[in-house]
Structure 1
Amino acid sequence: MGPRGGRFMFYTASFGLLLQIFSPVGANSIGVCYGLNGDNLPPPTEVINLYKNCGIQYLRIYEPNTAVLDALRGSGILVAIGPKNSDLQGPRTSPGCSSRMDIPGEEAPFIASAMTNIKDALTSIGLGHVLVTTVLSQKALAASYPPSAGIFAPEIKTIMNDVATVLSSTNTPLMINVYPYFAYANDPSEISIDYVMFNSSEVVVQDRPYSYYTLFDAMVDAFNAALENINHGDVGIAVAETGWPTAGNPPFSSIEYAQTYNRGVYNHVFQYGTPRRPEVRMDTLFFAMFNEDLKPFGVERNFGFFYPNMQPVYPFW
């Protein structure tokens, strides 16, 4: 395992791209995102104790928060931090810029150079072990079915080639958001619940020579194929977010489905890679620690493992 340091994420809205800086955590680290969009959440010191009591050693927050960072001091918990898009200010290409930079959506083409400059800045202050990467949503793919058809959207193909070149040179994984829930809820007549819930005993998608029993693997391998299609199959994958809502869109959102899906992910990523990369065990972050009442009404408020009073929504940790 690499040095235990902080992770820092820098967001850009265009194409679902993020710029992220993090310390290597070693293969197969499992964590939970800590969202702060609630007016009834417990104090950060209590939250960090909850993480520790649950044995969760890796978390992600979406903006710098002094109280949270103070609570994390000495905890031994690995941390990922990302500022809001609106806070991304400052030079995007200055080699000395490591903490703030300007990457609005229309300036997404500068991500690769910003990654390089931030890496150089970190190295200059003795943090050369810290890695720099991006995070993508499924929207970054123009096609993903079957998985071998995975290709990046035309408008970001050149950008992703530059980004992947940086990732390859620094042996850094690409991070992605993986949400089978949305695919299933949008098309339940075409996607079987067993395929989504890691319960299929038969091949659901045959994409020769690869056989898929679970949609999670198919979604991940679409990104692996997209990387291969730009001649960067050497770049690894890590999961920045995955989860399932317990309410807000019945019958697709439920406690039973959330518990089954998240347990399936947890067990799967510890034991298996994907059909395309069977030997690779991915770092994975679940979304999210709490139900957050300031998020948009509906499923967005109901991805939490815990209620704001720190009682579990369902048994898991």
Structure 2
Amino acid sequence: MPYFLGEGIRSTAGAQPIGVVYGTHGNNLPPPNEVVDLYKSKNIQAMRLYDPNQAVLQALKGSNIQLLLDVPNADLQSLASSPSAAIDWVQRNVKAYFPDVSFKYIAVGHQVIPGVQAQYVLPAMKNIHSALSSAGLQNQIKVSTSIATGREVLEQYSPPSSSRLSSGASTYLGPMVQFLASNGAPLLVNLYTYRNYIGDPNHIGTEYALFTSPTSVIQDGRYNYQYLFDTIMDAIYVALEKLGGSNVTIVVSESGWPSAGGFGASVDNARTYNQNLINHVGQGTPRRPGKAIEAYVFEMFNENQKPQGAEQNFGLFYPDRQPVYPINFP
């Protein structure tokens, strides 16, 4: 059914659930069972978890919350070099909880492309995929990795038709995209218009970044872009097409806006961005109209053990489970 935001966006809920990232870098956060209850009470149907935290996995049993589970970066080298290590990892962290926990994706590595650990990502993905296949879970759980959208990965994004990946990113993403395409898996993308905005506020207006622009900002042939989020999404789709991955879907594995602690960070901006994100993703993008985008809002709580500033203030909730601002999930 239709749902609304005060800024004026209206969309119809797509088939994809909206998720929220559950980070644990705080010494005052509620216990996992209370966190899972909060997800359920707010109708949050999917979760991203950055490591196989056993207490959280226990709390998720029987919840029907779809899970995107990360393989920590520290494990990449061992999993890349040892199929038996991958079998053990899947046995301990997935098979032991399946089907009581609704695993959907395994993210092998977090924003390590390009970089010194990038060489391990695809071999580790293949070993994890093989381990899932051995357990009979390859159709239920898809293996991917998460990438950033900064210049170290996406050198040019506007207009989308001229998008260009960095040479370092292309080196690793080329063969990786073929793996994703052959296994029907998406590419996980951490997409922050906030990062682009604070990097170039004189050229990227707040309305363009917050989904509140009343008119088109970028024209790209027959495509018109009203919102920066769509511009970046379609730039990645174009880049994937150039790598032979025209059938690879993008899942937005992180996106959010801080409520305090940095330039452009405010409660009003955070509420506006995140509610508009939730309301917008069912529409797709100009190049993929009507194709609902699966997205994970970053993040559930303000975390006091993160670096001082905006990093501590991306949460939808305070550690006492009170909302930082009102937000509605469809």
Normalised to the residue count of structure 2, the TM-score between the two structures is 0.83
**Aligned residue identity for 1:176:** V
Residue in 2 that maps onto 1:313: 324
**Aligned residue identity for 1:261:** Y
SS of equivalent residue, structure 1 residue 269: helix
Q: Does 2:202 correspond to 1:214?
A: no
Show CA shifts across 1:213-240 (max 9, x none): 0000011111111111222222111100
Aligned pairs for 1:186-225 within 5 A: 186-225=199-238
**Aligned residue identity for 2:78:** G
Looking at structure 2, the residues matched to 172 and 191 of structure 1 have their Cα atoms a distance apart, in angstroms, of 32
**Aligned residue identity for 2:280:** H
Deviation at 1:209, TM superposition (A): 2.1
Looking at structure 2, the residues matched to 202 and 74 of structure 1 have their Cα atoms a distance apart, in angstroms, of 45
CA contact (8 A) 2:299 2:314 kept: yes
Unaligned 5+ residue runs, structure 2?
1-13, 91-107
Looking at structure 2, the residues matched to 202 and 57 of structure 1 have their Cα atoms a distance apart, in angstroms, of 32
Residue in 1 that maps onto 2:142: 131
Residue in 1 that maps onto 2:267: 255
CA contact (8 A) 2:177 2:244 kept: no
Among 301, 306, 312, the residue aligned to 1:301 = 312
Residue in 2 that maps onto 1:32: 20
Among 116, 119, 122, the residue aligned to 2:126 = 116
Among 34, 53, 61, the residue aligned to 1:65 = 53
Deviation at 1:31, TM superposition (A): 0.6
Deviates more, 1:28-37 or 1:124-133: 124-133
Deviates more, 1:85-94 or 1:100-109: 100-109
Deviation at 1:191, TM superposition (A): 1.3
Deviation at 1:303, TM superposition (A): 0.4
Looking at structure 1, the residues matched to 287 and 258 of structure 2 have their Cα atoms a distance apart, in angstroms, of 28
Q: Does 2:164 correspond to 1:151?
A: yes
CA contact (8 A) 1:151 1:229 kept: no
Aligned pairs for 1:254-273 within 5 A: 254-270=266-282, 272-273=283-284
CA contact (8 A) 2:77 2:120 kept: no
Normalised to the residue count of structure 1, the TM-score between the two structures is 0.86
Residue in 2 that maps onto 1:277: 288
**Aligned residue identity for 2:242:** N
Deviation at 1:110, TM superposition (A): 4.1
Supply the RMSD in Å over aligned alpha carbons.
2.0
Looking at structure 1, the residues matched to 289 and 125 of structure 2 have their Cα atoms a distance apart, in angstroms, of 29
Looking at structure 2, the residues matched to 40 and 94 of structure 1 have their Cα atoms a distance apart, in angstroms, of 37
Looking at structure 2, the residues matched to 239 and 91 of structure 1 have their Cα atoms a distance apart, in angstroms, of 25
Looking at structure 2, the residues matched to 137 and 91 of structure 1 have their Cα atoms a distance apart, in angstroms, of 22
Q: Does 2:279 correspond to 1:291?
A: no
**Aligned residue identity for 1:150:** S
Show CA shifts across 1:63-98 (max 9, x none): 121221111111111122224323445241444424
Instruction: State, as a whole percentage, how many aligned pairs show the same letter.
Output: 43
Deviates more, 1:140-149 or 1:107-116: 107-116
Among 80, 93, 98, the residue aligned to 1:92 = 80
Q: Does 2:71 correspond to 1:80?
A: no
Looking at structure 2, the residues matched to 296 and 110 of structure 1 have their Cα atoms a distance apart, in angstroms, of 27
Instruction: Call closer, same or farther: CA 1:83–1:122 in 2, change over 3 Å.
Output: closer
Instruction: Call closer, same or farther: CA 1:107–1:249 in 2, change over 3 Å.
Output: closer
Looking at structure 2, the residues matched to 242 and 304 of structure 1 have their Cα atoms a distance apart, in angstroms, of 11
CA contact (8 A) 2:76 2:124 kept: no
SS of equivalent residue, structure 1 residue 33: strand
